[in-house]
Structure 1
Amino acid sequence: MRKTITFILALSVGVVFAQSKRTAEKYFNNFEYVKSAELYEKIYQKGDSSFLVLSRLGDSYYFNAISKKSEFWYEKLFTTIPEEEIPAEYYFKYAQSLKSNKNYKRSDDWLRKFRAKSLEDSRGKEIEGNKNYLNELTKERKKIVTLNNVSINTAYSDFGGFISGDSLIFSSTSPGVEKGRKLYKWNNQPFINVYVGAQKKLKGNKEKEYRYDVTEARQMLSINTKYHESSVIITKDGNTKYFTRNNYLKKLRADNKRTVHLKLYKAEKIDGRWDNITELPFNSNDYSIGHPALSNDEKTLYFVSDMPGGIGQTDLYKIQILEDGSFGEPENLGKTINTEGREMFPFVAADNTLYFSSDGHLGLGLLDVFASRQEEGTYKAIDNLGSPFNSPKDDFAFVIDDTNAYGYVSSNREGGKGDDDIYSFTIREPEPPCMQNITGIVKDKKFETPLKDAKIVLTDEQGKIVAEQITKVSGEFAFTLPCNKLYKVTASKQYYKPDSNEFKTTEKRDLILNLDFNLGVIDEFTYNDRNELMIRIDPIFFDYNKSNIRPDAAKELDRIVSIMNRFPKLIIESTSHTDARGKARYNESLSDRRAKSTVRYIISKGISEDRIIGKGYGESKLTNNCVDNDSHSNRVKCTEEEHQANRRSEFLITNISELGIGLKVVTQVRENKAKQNANSHVVKEGDTLFSIAKFYGITVDQLKKLNKLSGNKISIGQTLKIN
């Protein structure tokens, strides 16, 4: 049925009219829309497609919320009659009918046309600047709202609700056991009566989920008459009841057009019975007042009226209830709440939020439920509750309990049992999602030491980056991820080869998955047999007793240059070695010349001299057993190829700490330092910053800072402080 304050009663009844425009118009003016639609369709079928016939057909279905037919006839109206000859209100009703049938784009187009034709009407203004309102009103809510069609709903109109202890007071046109009840000609349903049903809290399908049902409906005989009663509310002390009724108290009264309006009535509980029913003093025989609601302190009564001087078709008002039980003057809630359309069904929650229904504010359908809170006594903003409270159809009579946990809303949405249905709803916080903790440590593959500043990238099944992290000193990383999802995690760090691991979180909440990474250095680097990090190249060989750069050696040295250009932070030490033949002192001098030769070549290619030093080690670090000492007994006979293997150069990376490359600190070095018990070191021939730092178990950077050194240059005899 059409949810409107004008649940009025037309008194002109009884005679059979000829099927003519005059008869159809009289039915329409008497709000007998079922009959007016039938007659106007017959008139249309006989060839009359005038503005009157088409508009009356659209309106007859619109006022009974039969939106598919109202859309059909309004479309006929706009395709038959020139648009400039059609009043603006039909643009709005056509847009509403389209929206009720989920034709949102066309509805918005016609609402914009309505806006252009009626610039001062607030109902068209909200479409401007709200292009995405549909997405906003239908997006997933932060809290879980569950709706339940309650058991007391019938094939008729069941709506409204007032929570009274364990009971729900509601309204219905259901005839119940009263067969042959008089029908209301607006919609051919019986007149509205007030019922009481029992609330039942039922367990839901999931843990911590529940729903409310209403059963055992019975009439509230103390106030019901043969005409309309609805919208009952009761004061907190249980002694006063306000409700809506036709202008009927012992007899039916009408205005001078023979129209019966609505009034607000009050009943008092006397000796356990509802008695002393009186109408409120601000009622009128000339317009309707109904749908009562009380403020939380019960000092203000809210209601709906179409009284003169309002903003729209029906407006929300409030009136003060004075200490002596009398009333102040009605006060319109203003243009923030009221529009040129219909505002109705007010309800004030325990937190003083005002809920109401409106077709004048931008929404999902015909009537939508809105909420507004007072700021310094004024309503300054409203919010559409969105789905699932609202639908493309009529949604109204919203009530909620004092804890904001459950309540009821009425709707004629699709899937119901009848015309209007009552839906209970529950609001609850969502269950914490199933999450799992993913942890891991990024380590150096060779030394198993944690790697700082490694980059961890997490991607989902589609390859989209979900999260990124940079490891701290501990090398650790951690993610908290939803259960039962596919992911890929990649660990990378400069100077190391990246590594990836694909995994799937399980369905077990709070499970911890460990994903460790062991990264190896890039192919440009390698370790020698003393675990010193160096640049990987093919061997650089020197001719016997020579220190000049051979062509094959130049090729490899160019590779060194390329790598140092690629990694501009690298600082290296060029170490040169000889075979064991010849005198040891001579070999040491030869190897030093070879080291200096390689350094000069690399510097000549544009590498800064601060990034490379050279040192010859003679035959002190052989790669095999080709010993050829002065003592004949220690001489080992080797092939030329075996001797050639010892004539080599290596390029050690000396600033591994600065580069963040893993270094295993040898405990024995620290023990040697303790045995040495020295706090200074005099540089001897053959010493390098790397060898001194390694001996004392510190990094080259630390050694430099302790001695305020720049670059890698040290001198024989120089004293370095060790703390």
Structure 2
Amino acid sequence: MKIIKTKLVILFLCLSGIIVNGQSRRVADKYFEEFAYFKAAKIYEAVYQKGDTTTYLLKRLGDAYYNNSQTENAEFWYKKLIEDKKEKDPSYLFKYSQVLRSNGSVQKADSIYNLLKITIDSQSGEKYVNKENNLQDFLNNGDKKISLRNLAINTPYSDFGGVIFEDKVYFASASPKGEKREKLYRWNNQPFLNLYKSDSYFERVDEAKTDSIFELENKTILSPGINTQFHESSPVFTKDGKTMYFSRVNFNGKKLGKDKKLTVNLKLFKAERVGDDWGNVEELPFNSDDYSVAHPALSPDGKSLYFASDMPGTLGETDIFKVEIKEDGFGEPVNLGKNVNTTAKEMFPFISDDNVLFFSSNGHKGLGLLDIFQTKIYNDSTYSQITNLDHPFNSKKDDFSFFIAKDGKKGFFSSNRAKGKGDDDIYSFYITEIPESERCYQYVTGVVTDKVTKERIPNAIVKLVDDLGTVLEEKLTDSRGSYNFKLECKQENYVVIADKRDYRNPDKKNISVLGKNKDERYTADLVLDPLIIGDQIVIKPIYFDYDKDFIREDAQYELENIVTVMTNHPKMVIKIESHTDSRGAKSYNRNLSDRRAKSTRDFIISRGIEPERIESAIGYGEDKLLNHCDDKNSKKCTEEEHQLNRRSYFYIVRGKEVSIDNVKPTVIDKKGYNNQKDMLEKLNKFKANKTKKLRSKSENDKCFKEDNDCGK
């Protein structure tokens, strides 16, 4: 009886712990769903310490810190989720790779990102693969110097969004107003944002007085007519100075508006100039309680208003939209489309006087979390390729709220990067020209050659790529197969990549310029392996498992090369020959090789190649063994030797003109290895015309075997 009582007490204590844990987690869930991430994280951690290590809890803990940009804490919990629990959800692989990169673990971030790309092949995760982009070149760091300053008006709280209007700079700050019972924003446990203005001035920072810093002073809060007890931010002004647009939470002066989930969203408002102040505040007609509309920006002609929103029609988490400003109101909001927006976050738009759209995104490939990007807006409302502003504007953390003045020299952006004063800080920048005599350049040169012919390859594509995979520049090799790049003197690593149609995989070389000198030159010669030699498409043999006819994964990779060549040469027609090893009856092996040929043919057709472009797909059974493993010696052979005979080959029947001088056929000796020397000697005997269509394989084989002068 005593034992039974003891067991009941233990069971009661265990159940009590589960109940308490469940109650605590529900409380944390409520805070989380109300965006009170600071409080939610603390309770989730207490629940974890009591034994709840479920994937649900780890996701919530990681997200609570991720949403507050506390990337070190987010990495700790995402690591447990991804590495301990083996979570494969693309959204969490994406976020884990982001926080790793933000925290400086670039190689590990790349490894997780590669796992993400593999995962999306079998899941609906394409939206988490970053769009590629180029680096910004309108601020060419080679001939300009960019001076940054963490502004004196920054506080330990969130400060962001400087814009110049008349002789003042306007921005948002969560610094305390000095009230006795000031409200706190539960998302980050800071005071709510208010709008401020400051005076600006220049400060010379070197003896030569060539380096200027743009600084602010005399911080003043805007009137209660604009600021409320909740958030205001992101002001923008019309050129006539009569109207200010800004963001505010869904608050009408008396109560907060909420959606069905009790979420308080953001809205856009406009105010009119009233003397030296602002008043007559009203919200814009396309706002809604059900979604957020925020971060306004005006086109240079003042006819369009840009903003960020998660309204219906959004491609991702938040997109950038624009709406026409009419005399009697506004048009219908229009999404900027897939060139600008991704399925992640795009926000904080700004349009410069020369019609360049700047915005922040974590969906385009960047240096860390939110990065600043730019694209030129054309007259037909299309956009140039997205480019990343790179250092010093972007960092491993969040970078956003970019603004550049009319003179194109000074401006602001905001960041929570390392060595700041607190949360988000405002940084000023000032751009000065560097005299030509002081500019620093380095050079990368090289040649691209054919691996088989050893000849240089003209018109090969050569790309210069940074260590994040961003294409900096792209060129074609000249008639001698040469290329060259002129680099700004940055402390960076680069990769040079060469590629051309009808060649196998691109070749690449790593170039490090860390700590190198001005005018230093680097050589990176590249070699490409041809996909076509003579009348044969050159790929590694496509092997089959014993007594099987399905296309293995390693064979699929090689077959994609066939598809690439045939796509590049739409008139090309090929034939397929498949083979078996010697084990089994000859009639059975003939049938098996036919099935292998058919499987090979079907795969190529499934990739979009027309059936009529495959003249035949024939199996030869064990008639054409590559080695000594015939019926007599079969039992003496290893499985690796038998494997060499279970293969498919591909031959061009017509549709490919090649130069005889460039033909160096590959043959396979009885051991299955490449042996070209003797064949090249015989090939020289029938070179005649510089360019002609090659004979069929059977005709060439006859020439080689009989040692005839087939060139005639």
Shorter-chain TM band: 0.5 to 0.7
1:53 to 2:93 alignment: no
Q: Structure 1 residues 61, 328: CA separation in 2 closer, same or farther (over 3 Å shift)?
A: same
Instruction: Describe the SS at the equivalent of 1:407.
Output: strand
Residue 40 of structure 1: SS of its match in structure 2? helix
1:69 and 1:138 mapped to 2: Cα distance?
35
Q: Indicate conservation of the 8 Å contact 1:299/1:320, yes or no.
A: yes
What is the alpha-carbon distance in structure 1 between the residues aligned to residue 229 and residue 426 of structure 2? Answer: 23
Q: Which residue of 2 aligns with 1:93?
A: 95
Which residue among 287, 298, 303 is the counterpart of 1:299? 303
Q: Confirm or deny that 1:109 pairs with 2:103.
A: no
What residue in structure 1 maps to residue 213 of structure 2? 211
Determine the C-alpha separation between the residues in 1 that align with 2:83 and 2:252.
48
In structure 2, distance between residues paired with 1:265 and 1:136: 35
Q: Which has the larger radius of gyration?
A: 1
Matches within 5 A, 1:34-433: 34-83=38-87, 86-118=88-120, 125-126=129-130, 141-205=142-206, 206-221=208-223, 222-251=225-254, 252-322=256-326, 324-375=327-378, 376-433=380-437
Q: CA deviation at 1:134?
A: 9.8
Contact 1:137 1:387 in 2 (8 A): no
Cα 1:49–1:263 change in 2 (3 A) is: same
Q: 1:141 to 1:370 in 2, by over 3 A?
A: farther
Which whole-Å CA distance do the structure 2 matches of 1:61 and 1:281 have between them?
A: 34
Q: Describe the SS at the equivalent of 2:96.
A: helix
Given that 1:122 and 1:339 are in contact with CA atoms closer than 8 Å, whether structure 2 keeps it comes out as no
TM-superposed CA distance for 1:25, in Å, is 1.0
C-alpha contact (below 8 Å) 1:19/1:39 kept by paired residues: no
Q: Which amino acid aligns with 2:48?
A: Y
Q: Distance in 1 between matches of 2:391 and 2:230?
A: 34
The answer as to whether partners of 2:143 and 2:435 remain within 8 angstroms in 1 is: no
Question: Cα gap change, 1:181/1:227 in structure 2, threshold over 3 Å: closer, same or farther?
Answer: same
Q: 1:82 to 1:239 in 2, by over 3 A?
A: same
Cα separation, partners in 2 of 1:65 and 1:39, compared to 1, 3 Å: same
Tell me by how many angstroms 1:141 deviates: 4.5
Q: Which stretch shifts more, 20-29 or 363-372?
A: 20-29
Q: For residue 307 of structure 1, report the CA deviation from its aligned partner.
A: 0.8
CA contact (8 A) 2:410 2:431 kept: yes
SS in 2 for 1:20: helix
Partner of 2:681: none
> Cα 1:272–1:213, aligned 2, differ >3 Å: closer, same or farther?
closer
Name the SS of the counterpart of 1:25 in structure 2: helix
Q: 2:108 and 2:34 mapped to 1: Cα distance? A: 32
User: For 1:333-375, what per-residue CA distance to the aligned partner results, in whole angstroms no more than 9, with x for missing partners?
Assistant: 0111111111000000010100000011100010000000023
In structure 2, runs of 5+ residues without a counterpart are 1-19, 440-712
What code does the residue aligned with 1:246 have? V
SS of alignment partner, residue 236 of structure 1? coil
Distance 2:126 2:363 in 1: 8
CA distance in 1, matches of 2:128, 2:183: 40
Superposition deviation, residue 39 in structure 1: 0.9
SS, match of residue 210 in structure 2: coil
Query: 1:492-571 alignment to 2 at 5 Å?
Result: none
Within 5 Å, which residues of 2 pair with 1:446-461?
Answer: none
Shift of 1:121: 5.3
Alignment of 1:645-656 (within 5 A): none
* Matched-pair contact (CA < 8 Å) for 1:234–1:242: yes
DSSP 3-state at the match of 2:281: strand
Q: Distance in 2 between matches of 1:121 and 1:139?
A: 36
Aligned Cα root-mean-square deviation (Å): 2.4
Which amino acid is 1:196 matched to? Answer: K
2-structure distance, mates of 1:32, 1:353: 36
Q: 1:43 to 1:395 in 2, by over 3 A?
A: same
**Alignment check: 8 A CA contact 2:91 2:128 kept:** no
The letter of the residue matching 2:229 is: K
Aligned residue identity for 1:391: S
Deviations 1:482-503 (A, max 9, x none): xxxxxxxxxxxxxxxxxxxxxx
- Judging changes above 3 Å, is the alpha-carbon distance between structure 1 residues 309 and 118 closer, same or farther for their aligned structure 2 residues? farther
- Secondary structure of the residue that 1:379 maps to in structure 2? coil
- Structure 1 position 124, deviation (Å): 5.0
Work out the CA distance in 1 between the residues paired with 2:408 and 2:100: 33
Q: Equivalents in 2 of 1:43, 1:138: separation in Å?
A: 50
Q: 2:146, 2:64 → 1: CA distance?
A: 35
User: What is the CA-CA distance between 1:126 and the residue it aligns to?
Assistant: 4.7
What is the aligned counterpart of 1:24 among 20, 24, 28? 28
Relative to structure 1, is the Cα distance of residues 419 and 392 closer, same or farther in structure 2, using a 3 angstrom cutoff?
A: same
Equivalent pair of 1:287/1:306 in contact (CA under 8 Å): yes
Report how far residue 19 of structure 1 moved.
5.8
Summarize deviations over 1:436-478 as a string: whole Å, max 9, x none: xxxxxxxxxxxxxxxxxxxxxxxxxxxxxxxxxxxxxxxxxxx
CA distance in 1, matches of 2:200, 2:251: 31
CA contact (8 A) 1:123 1:362 kept: no
Contact persistence 1:134–1:364 (CA under 8 A): no
The 8 Å contact of residues 99 and 107 in structure 1, kept in 2 or not, is answered as yes
**Secondary structure of 1:433's aligned partner:** helix
Cα pair 1:111 1:127 within 8 Å, conserved = no
Report the 3-state secondary structure (helix = DSSP H, G, I; strand = E; otherwise coil) of the residue aligned with 1:112: helix
Deviations 1:107-134 (A, max 9, x none): 1222222223235756555577x8xx89
* C-alpha deviation, 1:44, in angstroms: 1.1
> For residues 142 and 45 of structure 1, do their structure 2 counterparts lie closer, same or farther at Cα, with a shift above 3 Å needed?
farther
Contact map agreement 1:321 1:327 (CA 8 A) in 2:
yes
Query: How many residues align structurally?
Result: 414
DSSP 3-state at the match of 1:249 = coil
Q: CA deviation at 1:136?
A: 11
TM-score normalised to the size of structure 2?
A: 0.56
Shift of the alpha carbon at 1:138? 13
Letter in 2 for 1:210: S
How far apart are residue 103 of structure 1 and its match? 1.1
Q: Distance in 2 between matches of 1:95 and 1:138?
A: 29
Give the SS at the match of 1:425.
strand
* 8 Å contact kept, 1:233–1:293: yes
Distance 2:126 2:90 in 1: 13
Q: Distance in 1 between matches of 2:126 and 2:325?
A: 31
- Mapped contact 1:111–1:124 kept (Cα < 8 A): no
Q: CA deviation at 1:197?
A: 0.9
* SS of 1:259 mapped into structure 2: coil
Paired-residue identity, %: 48
Distance 1:232 1:134, change over 3 A: closer
Distance in 1, Cα, partners of 2:232 & 2:222: 10
Unaligned segments of structure 1, at least 5 residues? 1-15, 436-723
Q: Distance in 2 between matches of 1:327 and 1:229?
A: 22
* CA distance in 2: counterparts of 1:87 and 1:21, whole angstroms: 22
What are the superposed Cα offsets for residues 640-673 of structure 1, whole Å, 9 maximum, x if unpaired? xxxxxxxxxxxxxxxxxxxxxxxxxxxxxxxxxx
- C-alpha distance 19-188 of structure 1, shift in aligned 2 (>3 A): farther
Taking a change above 3 Å as real, the CA distance of residues 124 and 187 of structure 1, as seen in their structure-2 partners, is closer
Q: Distance in 1 between matches of 2:104 and 2:421?
A: 20
Partners of 1:250 and 1:434 in 2: CA distance: 57
